[in-house]
Structure 1
Amino acid sequence: MATGTFDLIHPGHGYYLEESKKLGGKDARLVVVVARESTVRARKRVPIVPEKQRLEVVQMLKPVDEAVLGSEIDMFITVEKIKPDVITIGPDQKFDLDWLREELNKRGLKSEVVKINGYHHTSLDSSCKIIKKIKESDFPSGSFKHC
């Protein structure tokens, strides 16, 4: 199981999902939990793309076998439903891994928690960088006549 916002898809997302799937072995199924809009607002910022569209796009990504929306109440509800062998945390996700393992254990969930440390570095390797680039761009008048 991998989790994330997946607001503006970039190569870092692909890298994270590919690495997550590899951890499960040859016949692994990768289930991706897409953060709800309320969760994104509480932890990061207002999402650009609505949650149902983010879910749809994540489902289309090659490493993903299934994508689901997370719980707005308690993130462990989704974990209890999926019962993953492995939960991956992305390199930019700010989770206390010891706390996460302890909470899983309290709930009788035996999932291994793994931080994906590698990263696919590009000039636009985060949603924030993409948003900043758009805001700083000086598009000539008429550039978007087909939008």
Structure 2
Amino acid sequence: MKVVAQGTFDILHPGHVHYLTDAADMGDELHVIIARRENVGHKEKPVLSNEQRRDVVAALDMVDHARIGHPTDIFAPIEDIDPDVIALGYDQHHDSAAIQAELDDRGIDCTVERASPREPQHEDELLSTGDIVDRILDRRC
């Protein structure tokens, strides 16, 4: 079974690793789509380049394939991969029902699942890129 996970993955952190591990456990082959910097509109644009974020994600053991998303159609790579499952992160902003409806409209036969949550393992652990950036700015500036 092929699984697709997607995200920005700007500064890789334990929350990302948990999400991708959960996604990999949903099937046999994990494909990860890296959001293009120019398409990110729901939060700050990524600091790192599209290629660097793809390369770091591709280096993770649980990831079989990593690619940069399509410039205009976020469903184009999904049509190309033809997955059995789309794994959404626990706290990703996506509407799973809307994604399922678009998949159905496009004739893509797969389900949409959510990864499990991950709580910090110690009080100093950060599970958000924004929180990491804020801490860097606080401590270094």
Q: Cα deviation per residue 1:8-64 (whole Å; 9 max; x = unaligned)?
A: 00011111011101111xxx0100000001122x22112111110000000001110
* Structure 2 residue 63 is the aligned partner of structure 1 residue 61: no
Cα distance in 2, alignment partners of residues 89 and 72 from structure 1: 20
* Structure 2 residue 116 is the aligned partner of structure 1 residue 125: no
Structure with greater proportional strand content: 2
Call closer, same or farther: CA 1:104–1:70 in 2, change over 3 Å. Answer: same
Call closer, same or farther: CA 1:138–1:75 in 2, change over 3 Å. Answer: closer
Cα distance in 2, alignment partners of residues 138 and 54 from structure 1: 23
Number of residue pairs matched?
Answer: 135
Counterpart for residue 96 of structure 1: 95
Are the counterparts in 2 of residues 7 and 127 from structure 1 also a CA contact under 8 Å? yes
Q: Secondary structure at the match of 1:137?
A: helix
Q: Secondary structure at the match of 1:30?
A: strand
Q: CA deviation at 1:138?
A: 4.4
Counterpart for residue 75 of structure 1: 74
Call closer, same or farther: CA 1:51–1:120 in 2, change over 3 Å. Answer: farther
Unmatched runs of 5 consecutive residues or more in structure 2: none
The amino acid of 1:132's aligned partner reads: D
Are the counterparts in 2 of residues 21 and 63 from structure 1 also a CA contact under 8 Å? yes
Cα distance in 2, alignment partners of residues 93 and 72 from structure 1: 20
Range moving further from structure 2, 130-139 or 2-11: 130-139
Aligned-residue sequence identity (percent) comes to: 36
Are the counterparts in 1 of residues 5 and 32 from structure 2 also a CA contact under 8 Å? yes
Counterpart for residue 33 of structure 1: 33
TM-score by length of 1: 0.87
Are the counterparts in 2 of residues 11 and 120 from structure 1 also a CA contact under 8 Å? no
The amino acid of 1:15's aligned partner reads: H
The amino acid of 1:127's aligned partner reads: T
Cα distance in 1, alignment partners of residues 18 and 108 from structure 2: 26
Unmatched runs of 5 consecutive residues or more in structure 1: 140-147
TM-score by length of 2: 0.91
Q: CA deviation at 1:99?
A: 0.9
Q: Secondary structure at the match of 2:137?
A: helix
Q: CA RMSD in A?
A: 1.2
Q: Cα deviation per residue 1:69-91 (whole Å; 9 max; x = unaligned)?
A: 11121111111000011100001
Larger Rg: 1
